[in-house]
Chains A and B, each alone.
Chain A
């Protein structure tokens, strides 16, 4: 019995000692940082991994010696959960990487209005639009993302086909490739994303290219305009690719990775995706001759890519260190910072006057970039874009399976929009 009591006491003492040790350590740290030019610790929460920001973070370190940025990576699957829980508890990060949810967060008064800051005006309007609501601007964009159609240059050459300039040409060359025994286009349609994006590529060409429709997205947010009316002709044009048997229902059993595999190993001539896939493709097949062309429209033109501001940095309106956080955004709005960002993750910059050379793969898309033909309505303007395009993409899977029409798929997206407007207001 005595032994047990002794052991118990001993462990208790050890526990207390450990606790005291901890607190005294952290205590001394605080006083240390207090005496040294007041280094402020800023928390930056992000859903893009630290490896995609290495150069940029290093640059911030050099430029802002009294700000110590603590980079917190939370995978996108959980990002909104973690962020929202922290914001609700009043313990959110100082700087937040935001995407599609920025408007909702701004509406709920979590984000600082940046519209009167000097650095905000250095960005092109296209980059700020997704983060603007009710006259306020709540985040400044990082580099853009875009997606087009990758093609295997060697296969194109061997079969004597050219990069298509119209949607009909794309179908024609697909048929020619098919006749020659080459699978024209592979698609990981088990995911709802690729069909959704490719069809919106045609909507970009046929609908958004027309200035008259520039107000559509705002009306859609208010529930005054419907996809099933406005988008229908464009999406029906896209669905020719299903009617002609180029996209087939067996692709519903292919995942993104499996489709990438088939394209990289030369089993298919075309595949829809974006720059983030390039390292994996080259890893699987270093000899592949890769190109990317934008999604063509009915008429000949530069074509359109899907994309927009990938994500942006916003400041927590309740942060203790708002001035320091503003300094970080100010430094981000310089050419040097933008080039540092692009170095780790290819894309174009929204900062006025900064030009980025994307490289050989994207020469076929140059004209589209020059014309500014990069757009993704659901991240750019829609209030709750992701759930809507998810509903649309899932219904397109049913279209490919032959169970639904294109019009019904668009109606599903409209219905989701109505539901969300009614529940989130």
Chain B
């Protein structure tokens, strides 16, 4: 009886947040599903059902498709590279020496900065102007200057590089916390059996990093899918459509062009894409979990 009462109190306590969440998130999401089937725009006086026209237009528009493609490339590369770097850093820096602590804070530092600040900063570092820092370094070592943000084949990867630089340290901290919880007895046993450092890492450390990894992988995936601010600061989606993402396309079509219904349709596609991708990743993570338990 006491327990049930307690539960009721807890339910009441989350009610205010839930109401806010419902009104400000669930309702608008449901509304955009509805609007994606209409011709809704501030410039259209009357609302009409147009069926799947918006979706048809969306999949015929090469610019929007470029945005979807870029987003998936961005999300997958940041996911793999960030996590790989973070795990390696975590394993090497999981020590209590002063120098390790110093390097740890150095690697973590970029995560403190705002993404916009990092974006504008790198726009100056990677610029093709004569004072571009990165190109000056390349030229110092005898290389040819590279058009980091202006070359359509490189620009997306330049943006990815800055985000890997910024967030690897953040993920590293989560991995380090996980490493601390791994039982040292396992390593001692491995040592007695004469296991090499490599096999200790692959047989013990990596599998047991599952809790941190599942969190980090999903986080990187979702952050990657919704990337917007760094693109805005560094390339504005250019040159051409080389770095447009789902979010930049959505803002461009929905707000600049006033095609709100079309943008809603893109929002629905985004929702489905995130849902499917995260399902795949979760299936992979579950397989991993079964392996270690």
Say whether A and B bind each other: yes
Residues of A within 8 A of B (CB): 80-81, 84, 87-88, 101, 104-105, 107-109, 189-192, 249-255, 258, 261-262, 267, 384, 386-387, 390-391, 394-395, 397-398, 400-401, 403-404, 419-420, 423-425
Q: Is the CB of A420 within 8 A of B126?
A: no
Q: Is the CB of A420 within 8 A of B259?
A: yes
When distances are taken between beta carbons in the complex, the residues of chain B under 8 Å from A252 are 128, 147, 149-151, 238-239
Contact string against A for B residues 270-284, beta-carbon threshold 8 Å, 1 for contact and 0 otherwise: 000000000000000
Could you tell me the distance between the alpha carbons of A404 and B152 in the complex, rounded to whole angstroms? 12
Find A384's partner among B61, B128, B149, B258 (CB 8 Å cutoff): B258
Could you tell me the distance between the alpha carbons of A424 and B50 in the complex, rounded to whole angstroms? 13
Q: Tell whether B162 is near chain A: CB-to-CB under 8 Å.
A: no
Could you tell me the distance between the alpha carbons of A181 and B122 in the complex, rounded to whole angstroms? 29
Find A419's partner among B57, B124, B241 (CB 8 Å cutoff): B57
Interface residues of B in 167-208 (CB under 8 A from A): none
Q: Is the CB of B123 within 8 A of A390?
A: no
Given A251-B128, A387-B257, A390-B252, A104 contacting B43 (CB threshold 8 A): yes
Q: Is the CB of A397 within 8 A of B128?
A: no
Nearest residue (CB) in A for B158 is: A253
Q: How far is the CB of A65 from chain B (nearest CB, A)?
A: 36
Most chain A beta-carbon neighbours within 10 Å: one of B45, B147, B236, B252: B147
Q: How far is the CB of B121 from chain A (nearest CB, A)?
A: 13
Q: How far is the CB of A368 from chain B (nearest CB, A)?
A: 30
Q: Is the CB of A190 within 8 A of B239?
A: yes
Find B240's partner among A101, A386, A398 (CB 8 Å cutoff): A398
Q: How far is the CB of A128 from chain B (nearest CB, A)?
A: 21
Nearest residue (CB) in B for A107 is: B43
Q: Is the CB of B261 within 8 A of A423?
A: yes
Most chain A beta-carbon neighbours within 10 Å: one of B39, B61, B240: B240
Where chain A touches its partner, the secondary structure class is: helix
Q: Is the CB of A190 within 8 A of B147?
A: no
Q: Is the CB of B45 within 8 A of A109?
A: yes
Interface residues of B in 247-277 (CB under 8 A from A): 252, 255-259, 261-262
Q: How far is the CB of B117 from chain A (nearest CB, A)?
A: 15
Could you tell me the distance between the alpha carbons of A108 and B41 in the complex, rounded to whole angstroms? 10
Q: Is the CB of A420 within 8 A of B149?
A: no
| Top 9 A-B pairs, shortest CB-CB distance | A253-B150, A252-B150, A253-B128, A398-B240, A387-B257, A84-B42, A397-B239, A250-B128, A104-B43
Could you tell me the distance between the alpha carbons of A186 and B239 in the complex, rounded to whole angstroms? 17
Where chain B touches its partner, the secondary structure class is: loop
Q: Is the CB of A254 within 8 A of B257?
A: no
When distances are taken between beta carbons in the complex, the residues of chain B under 8 Å from A104 are 43, 258
Q: Is the CB of A190 within 8 A of B150?
A: yes
Could you tell me the distance between the alpha carbons of A387 and B262 in the complex, rounded to whole angstroms? 14
Find B151's partner among A249, A391, A420 (CB 8 Å cutoff): A249
Q: How far is the CB of A405 from chain B (nearest CB, A)?
A: 13
Nearest residue (CB) in B for A419 is: B57
When distances are taken between beta carbons in the complex, the residues of chain A under 8 Å from B255 are 80-81
**Count class of interface residues, chain B:** 35 or more
Given A104-B43, A403-B152, A424 contacting B127 (CB threshold 8 A): no
Could you tell me the distance between the alpha carbons of A416 and B262 in the complex, rounded to whole angstroms? 13
Q: Is the CB of A108 within 8 A of B45?
A: yes
Q: Tell whether B55 is near chain A: CB-to-CB under 8 Å.
A: no
When distances are taken between beta carbons in the complex, the residues of chain B under 8 Å from A254 are 127-129, 150
Nearest residue (CB) in B for A85 is: B42
Given A84-B42, A107-B43, A253-B147, A420 contacting B257 (CB threshold 8 A): yes
Q: Is the CB of B43 within 8 A of A253?
A: no
Given A249-B151, A424-B44, A190 contacting B238 (CB threshold 8 A): yes
Find A403's partner among B44, B124, B240 (CB 8 Å cutoff): B240
When distances are taken between beta carbons in the complex, the residues of chain B under 8 Å from A425 are 44
Nearest residue (CB) in B for A402 is: B152
Q: Is the CB of B42 within 8 A of A394?
A: no
Q: Is the CB of B236 within 8 A of A191?
A: yes
Could you tell me the distance between the alpha carbons of A420 and B239 in the complex, rounded to whole angstroms? 23
Can you list 29 A-B contacts with CB-CB less than 8 angstroms, sorted by A residue number? Answer: A84-B258, A88-B42, A101-B43, A101-B258, A104-B258, A107-B43, A108-B44, A190-B150, A190-B235, A190-B236, A250-B145, A251-B128, A251-B150, A252-B151, A252-B238, A252-B239, A253-B148, A253-B151, A386-B256, A387-B256, A394-B237, A398-B240, A400-B239, A404-B240, A419-B57, A419-B61, A423-B39, A423-B41, A424-B43
When distances are taken between beta carbons in the complex, the residues of chain A under 8 Å from B259 are 420, 423-424
Q: How far is the CB of A304 from chain B (nearest CB, A)?
A: 27
13 extra interface residue pairs, beta carbon distance < 8 Å, beyond A104-B43, A191-B238, A253-B126: A80-B258, A109-B45, A192-B236, A192-B238, A251-B128, A253-B150, A253-B151, A254-B129, A258-B127, A258-B129, A397-B240, A398-B241, A401-B151
Find A250's partner among B147, B240, B252, B262 (CB 8 Å cutoff): B147
Given A190-B236, A423-B262, A108 contacting B151 (CB threshold 8 A): no
Nearest residue (CB) in B for A261 is: B129
Interface residues of B in 136-155 (CB under 8 A from A): 145, 147-152
When distances are taken between beta carbons in the complex, the residues of chain B under 8 Å from A109 are 45
Q: How far is the CB of A307 from chain B (nearest CB, A)?
A: 21
Q: How far is the CB of B152 from chain A (nearest CB, A)?
A: 5
When distances are taken between beta carbons in the complex, the residues of chain B under 8 Å from A87 are 42
Q: Is the CB of A390 within 8 A of B256?
A: yes
When distances are taken between beta carbons in the complex, the residues of chain B under 8 Å from A80 are 42, 255-256, 258
Find A394's partner among B130, B148, B241, B261 (CB 8 Å cutoff): B241
Q: How far is the CB of A75 from chain B (nearest CB, A)?
A: 13
Could you tell me the distance between the alpha carbons of A30 and B292 in the complex, rounded to whole angstroms? 72
When distances are taken between beta carbons in the complex, the residues of chain B under 8 Å from A255 are 123, 127
When distances are taken between beta carbons in the complex, the residues of chain B under 8 Å from A391 are 63
Nearest residue (CB) in A for B244 is: A394
When distances are taken between beta carbons in the complex, the residues of chain A under 8 Å from B252 are 387, 390
